């Protein structure tokens, strides 16, 4: 047997931040002193290892000298504590208006999962995305003009189109913000979203790009250029917090996991 030491590549203040919130949570639920197998700091390390490395919960629990069941319980508790710190969409939009941000960027991504049972009315798999050819949940992201992640939605089944998921979770609040001077930029998947949501203009079916007027092509190019920074939001969260690359927990946890990564990402620096 070979023993070795390892380093968790996250800032120490991030571990301390989560540990403080875990300790406060234990006080709120009146956890008896000394009744936990791990203290708040070691629990925070376990949770952050899972987010950062997408580690096996069994291995994380073994390293912490606790049972697998306790490891899962501590992990879910950490996810809940972090997700509770995430602001809702109305708070984010009010903050953007107060700060004078020129626009926000709306985009969607698929968080892949293991195969999930569930059938649509047409017989197709509910959680299977034909676009990505994978099972998962559809998440909607809102980002600042510089690509800073601002907000993430709850997950919809992978077969849900972006425009449908946006109508459920984002568009009502975005309409109100757009009326106050905060427009939204989005890709072609959001065409028909409504006033205040700017999307590229599609070329006529069967026609080449040249069928569009020069001014229209320039509008599309400018929109793509401005929107490009915001579209890196999902990539930034997935690469920094690898747990989002493939979720093996229940798909109902995808939204909480994404909100937790958003909170961690804001505290990274």
Give 247-258 pLDDT, tens digit per residue.
999 889 999 999
* Residue 47 pLDDT: 96
Give 141-173 pLDDT, tens digit per residue.
999 998 899 999 999 999 999 999 999 999 999
* Residue 207 pLDDT: 65
Any idea where the domains of the chain sit in the sequence?
12-83, 89-249
Tell me the C-alpha to C-alpha distance, in Å, between residue 14 and each of 44, 111, 213.
9, 24, 51
Closest CA to 125 of 162, 161, 134, 139: 134
Pairing outcome for strands 104-113 and 184-185: parallel
Pick 211 or 59 by higher pLDDT.
Answer: 59
Give 23-79 pLDDT, tens digit per residue.
999 999 999 988 999 999 999 999 999 999 887 899 999 989 999 999 999 999 999
* Residue 208 pLDDT: 64
Which range, of 191-195, 197-201, 227-231, averages the lowest pLDDT? 227-231
* Residue 209 pLDDT: 60
């Amino acid at each position: 047997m070979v023993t070795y030491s390892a380093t968790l590549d996250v800032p120490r203040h991030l571990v301390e931040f989560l540990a403080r919130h875990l300790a406060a949570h234990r006080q709120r639920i009146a956890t008896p002193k000394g009744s936990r197998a791990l203290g708040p700091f070691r629990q925070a390390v376990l949770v952050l290892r899972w987010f950062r490395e997408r580690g096996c919960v069994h291995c994380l629990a073994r390293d912490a000298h606790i049972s697998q069941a306790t490891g899962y319980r501590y992990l879910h508790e950490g996810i809940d504590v972090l997700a509770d710190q995430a602001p809702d969409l109305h708070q984010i939009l009010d903050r953007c208006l107060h700060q004078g941000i020129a626009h926000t960027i709306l985009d969607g991504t698929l968080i892949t999962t293991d195969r999930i049972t569930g059938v649509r009315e047409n017989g197709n798999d509910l959680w299977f995305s034909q676009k990505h050819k994978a099972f998962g949940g559809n998440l909607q992201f809102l980002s600042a003009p510089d690509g800073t992640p601002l907000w993430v939605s709850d997950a919809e089944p992978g077969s849900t189109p972006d425009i449908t998921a946006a109508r459920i979770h984002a568009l009502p609040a975005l309409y109100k913000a757009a009326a106050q001077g905060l427009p939204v930029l989005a890709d072609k998947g959001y065409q028909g979203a409504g006033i205040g949501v700017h999307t590229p203009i599609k070329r006529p079916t069967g026609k080449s790009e040249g069928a569009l007027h020069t001014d229209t092509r320039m509008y599309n190019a400018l929109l793509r250029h401005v929107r490009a920074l915001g579209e890196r939001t999902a990539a930034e969260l997935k690469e920094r917090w690898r747990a989002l690359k493939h979720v093996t927990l229940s798909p109902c946890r995808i939204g909480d996991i994404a909100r937790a990564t958003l909170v961690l990402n804001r505290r990274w620096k």
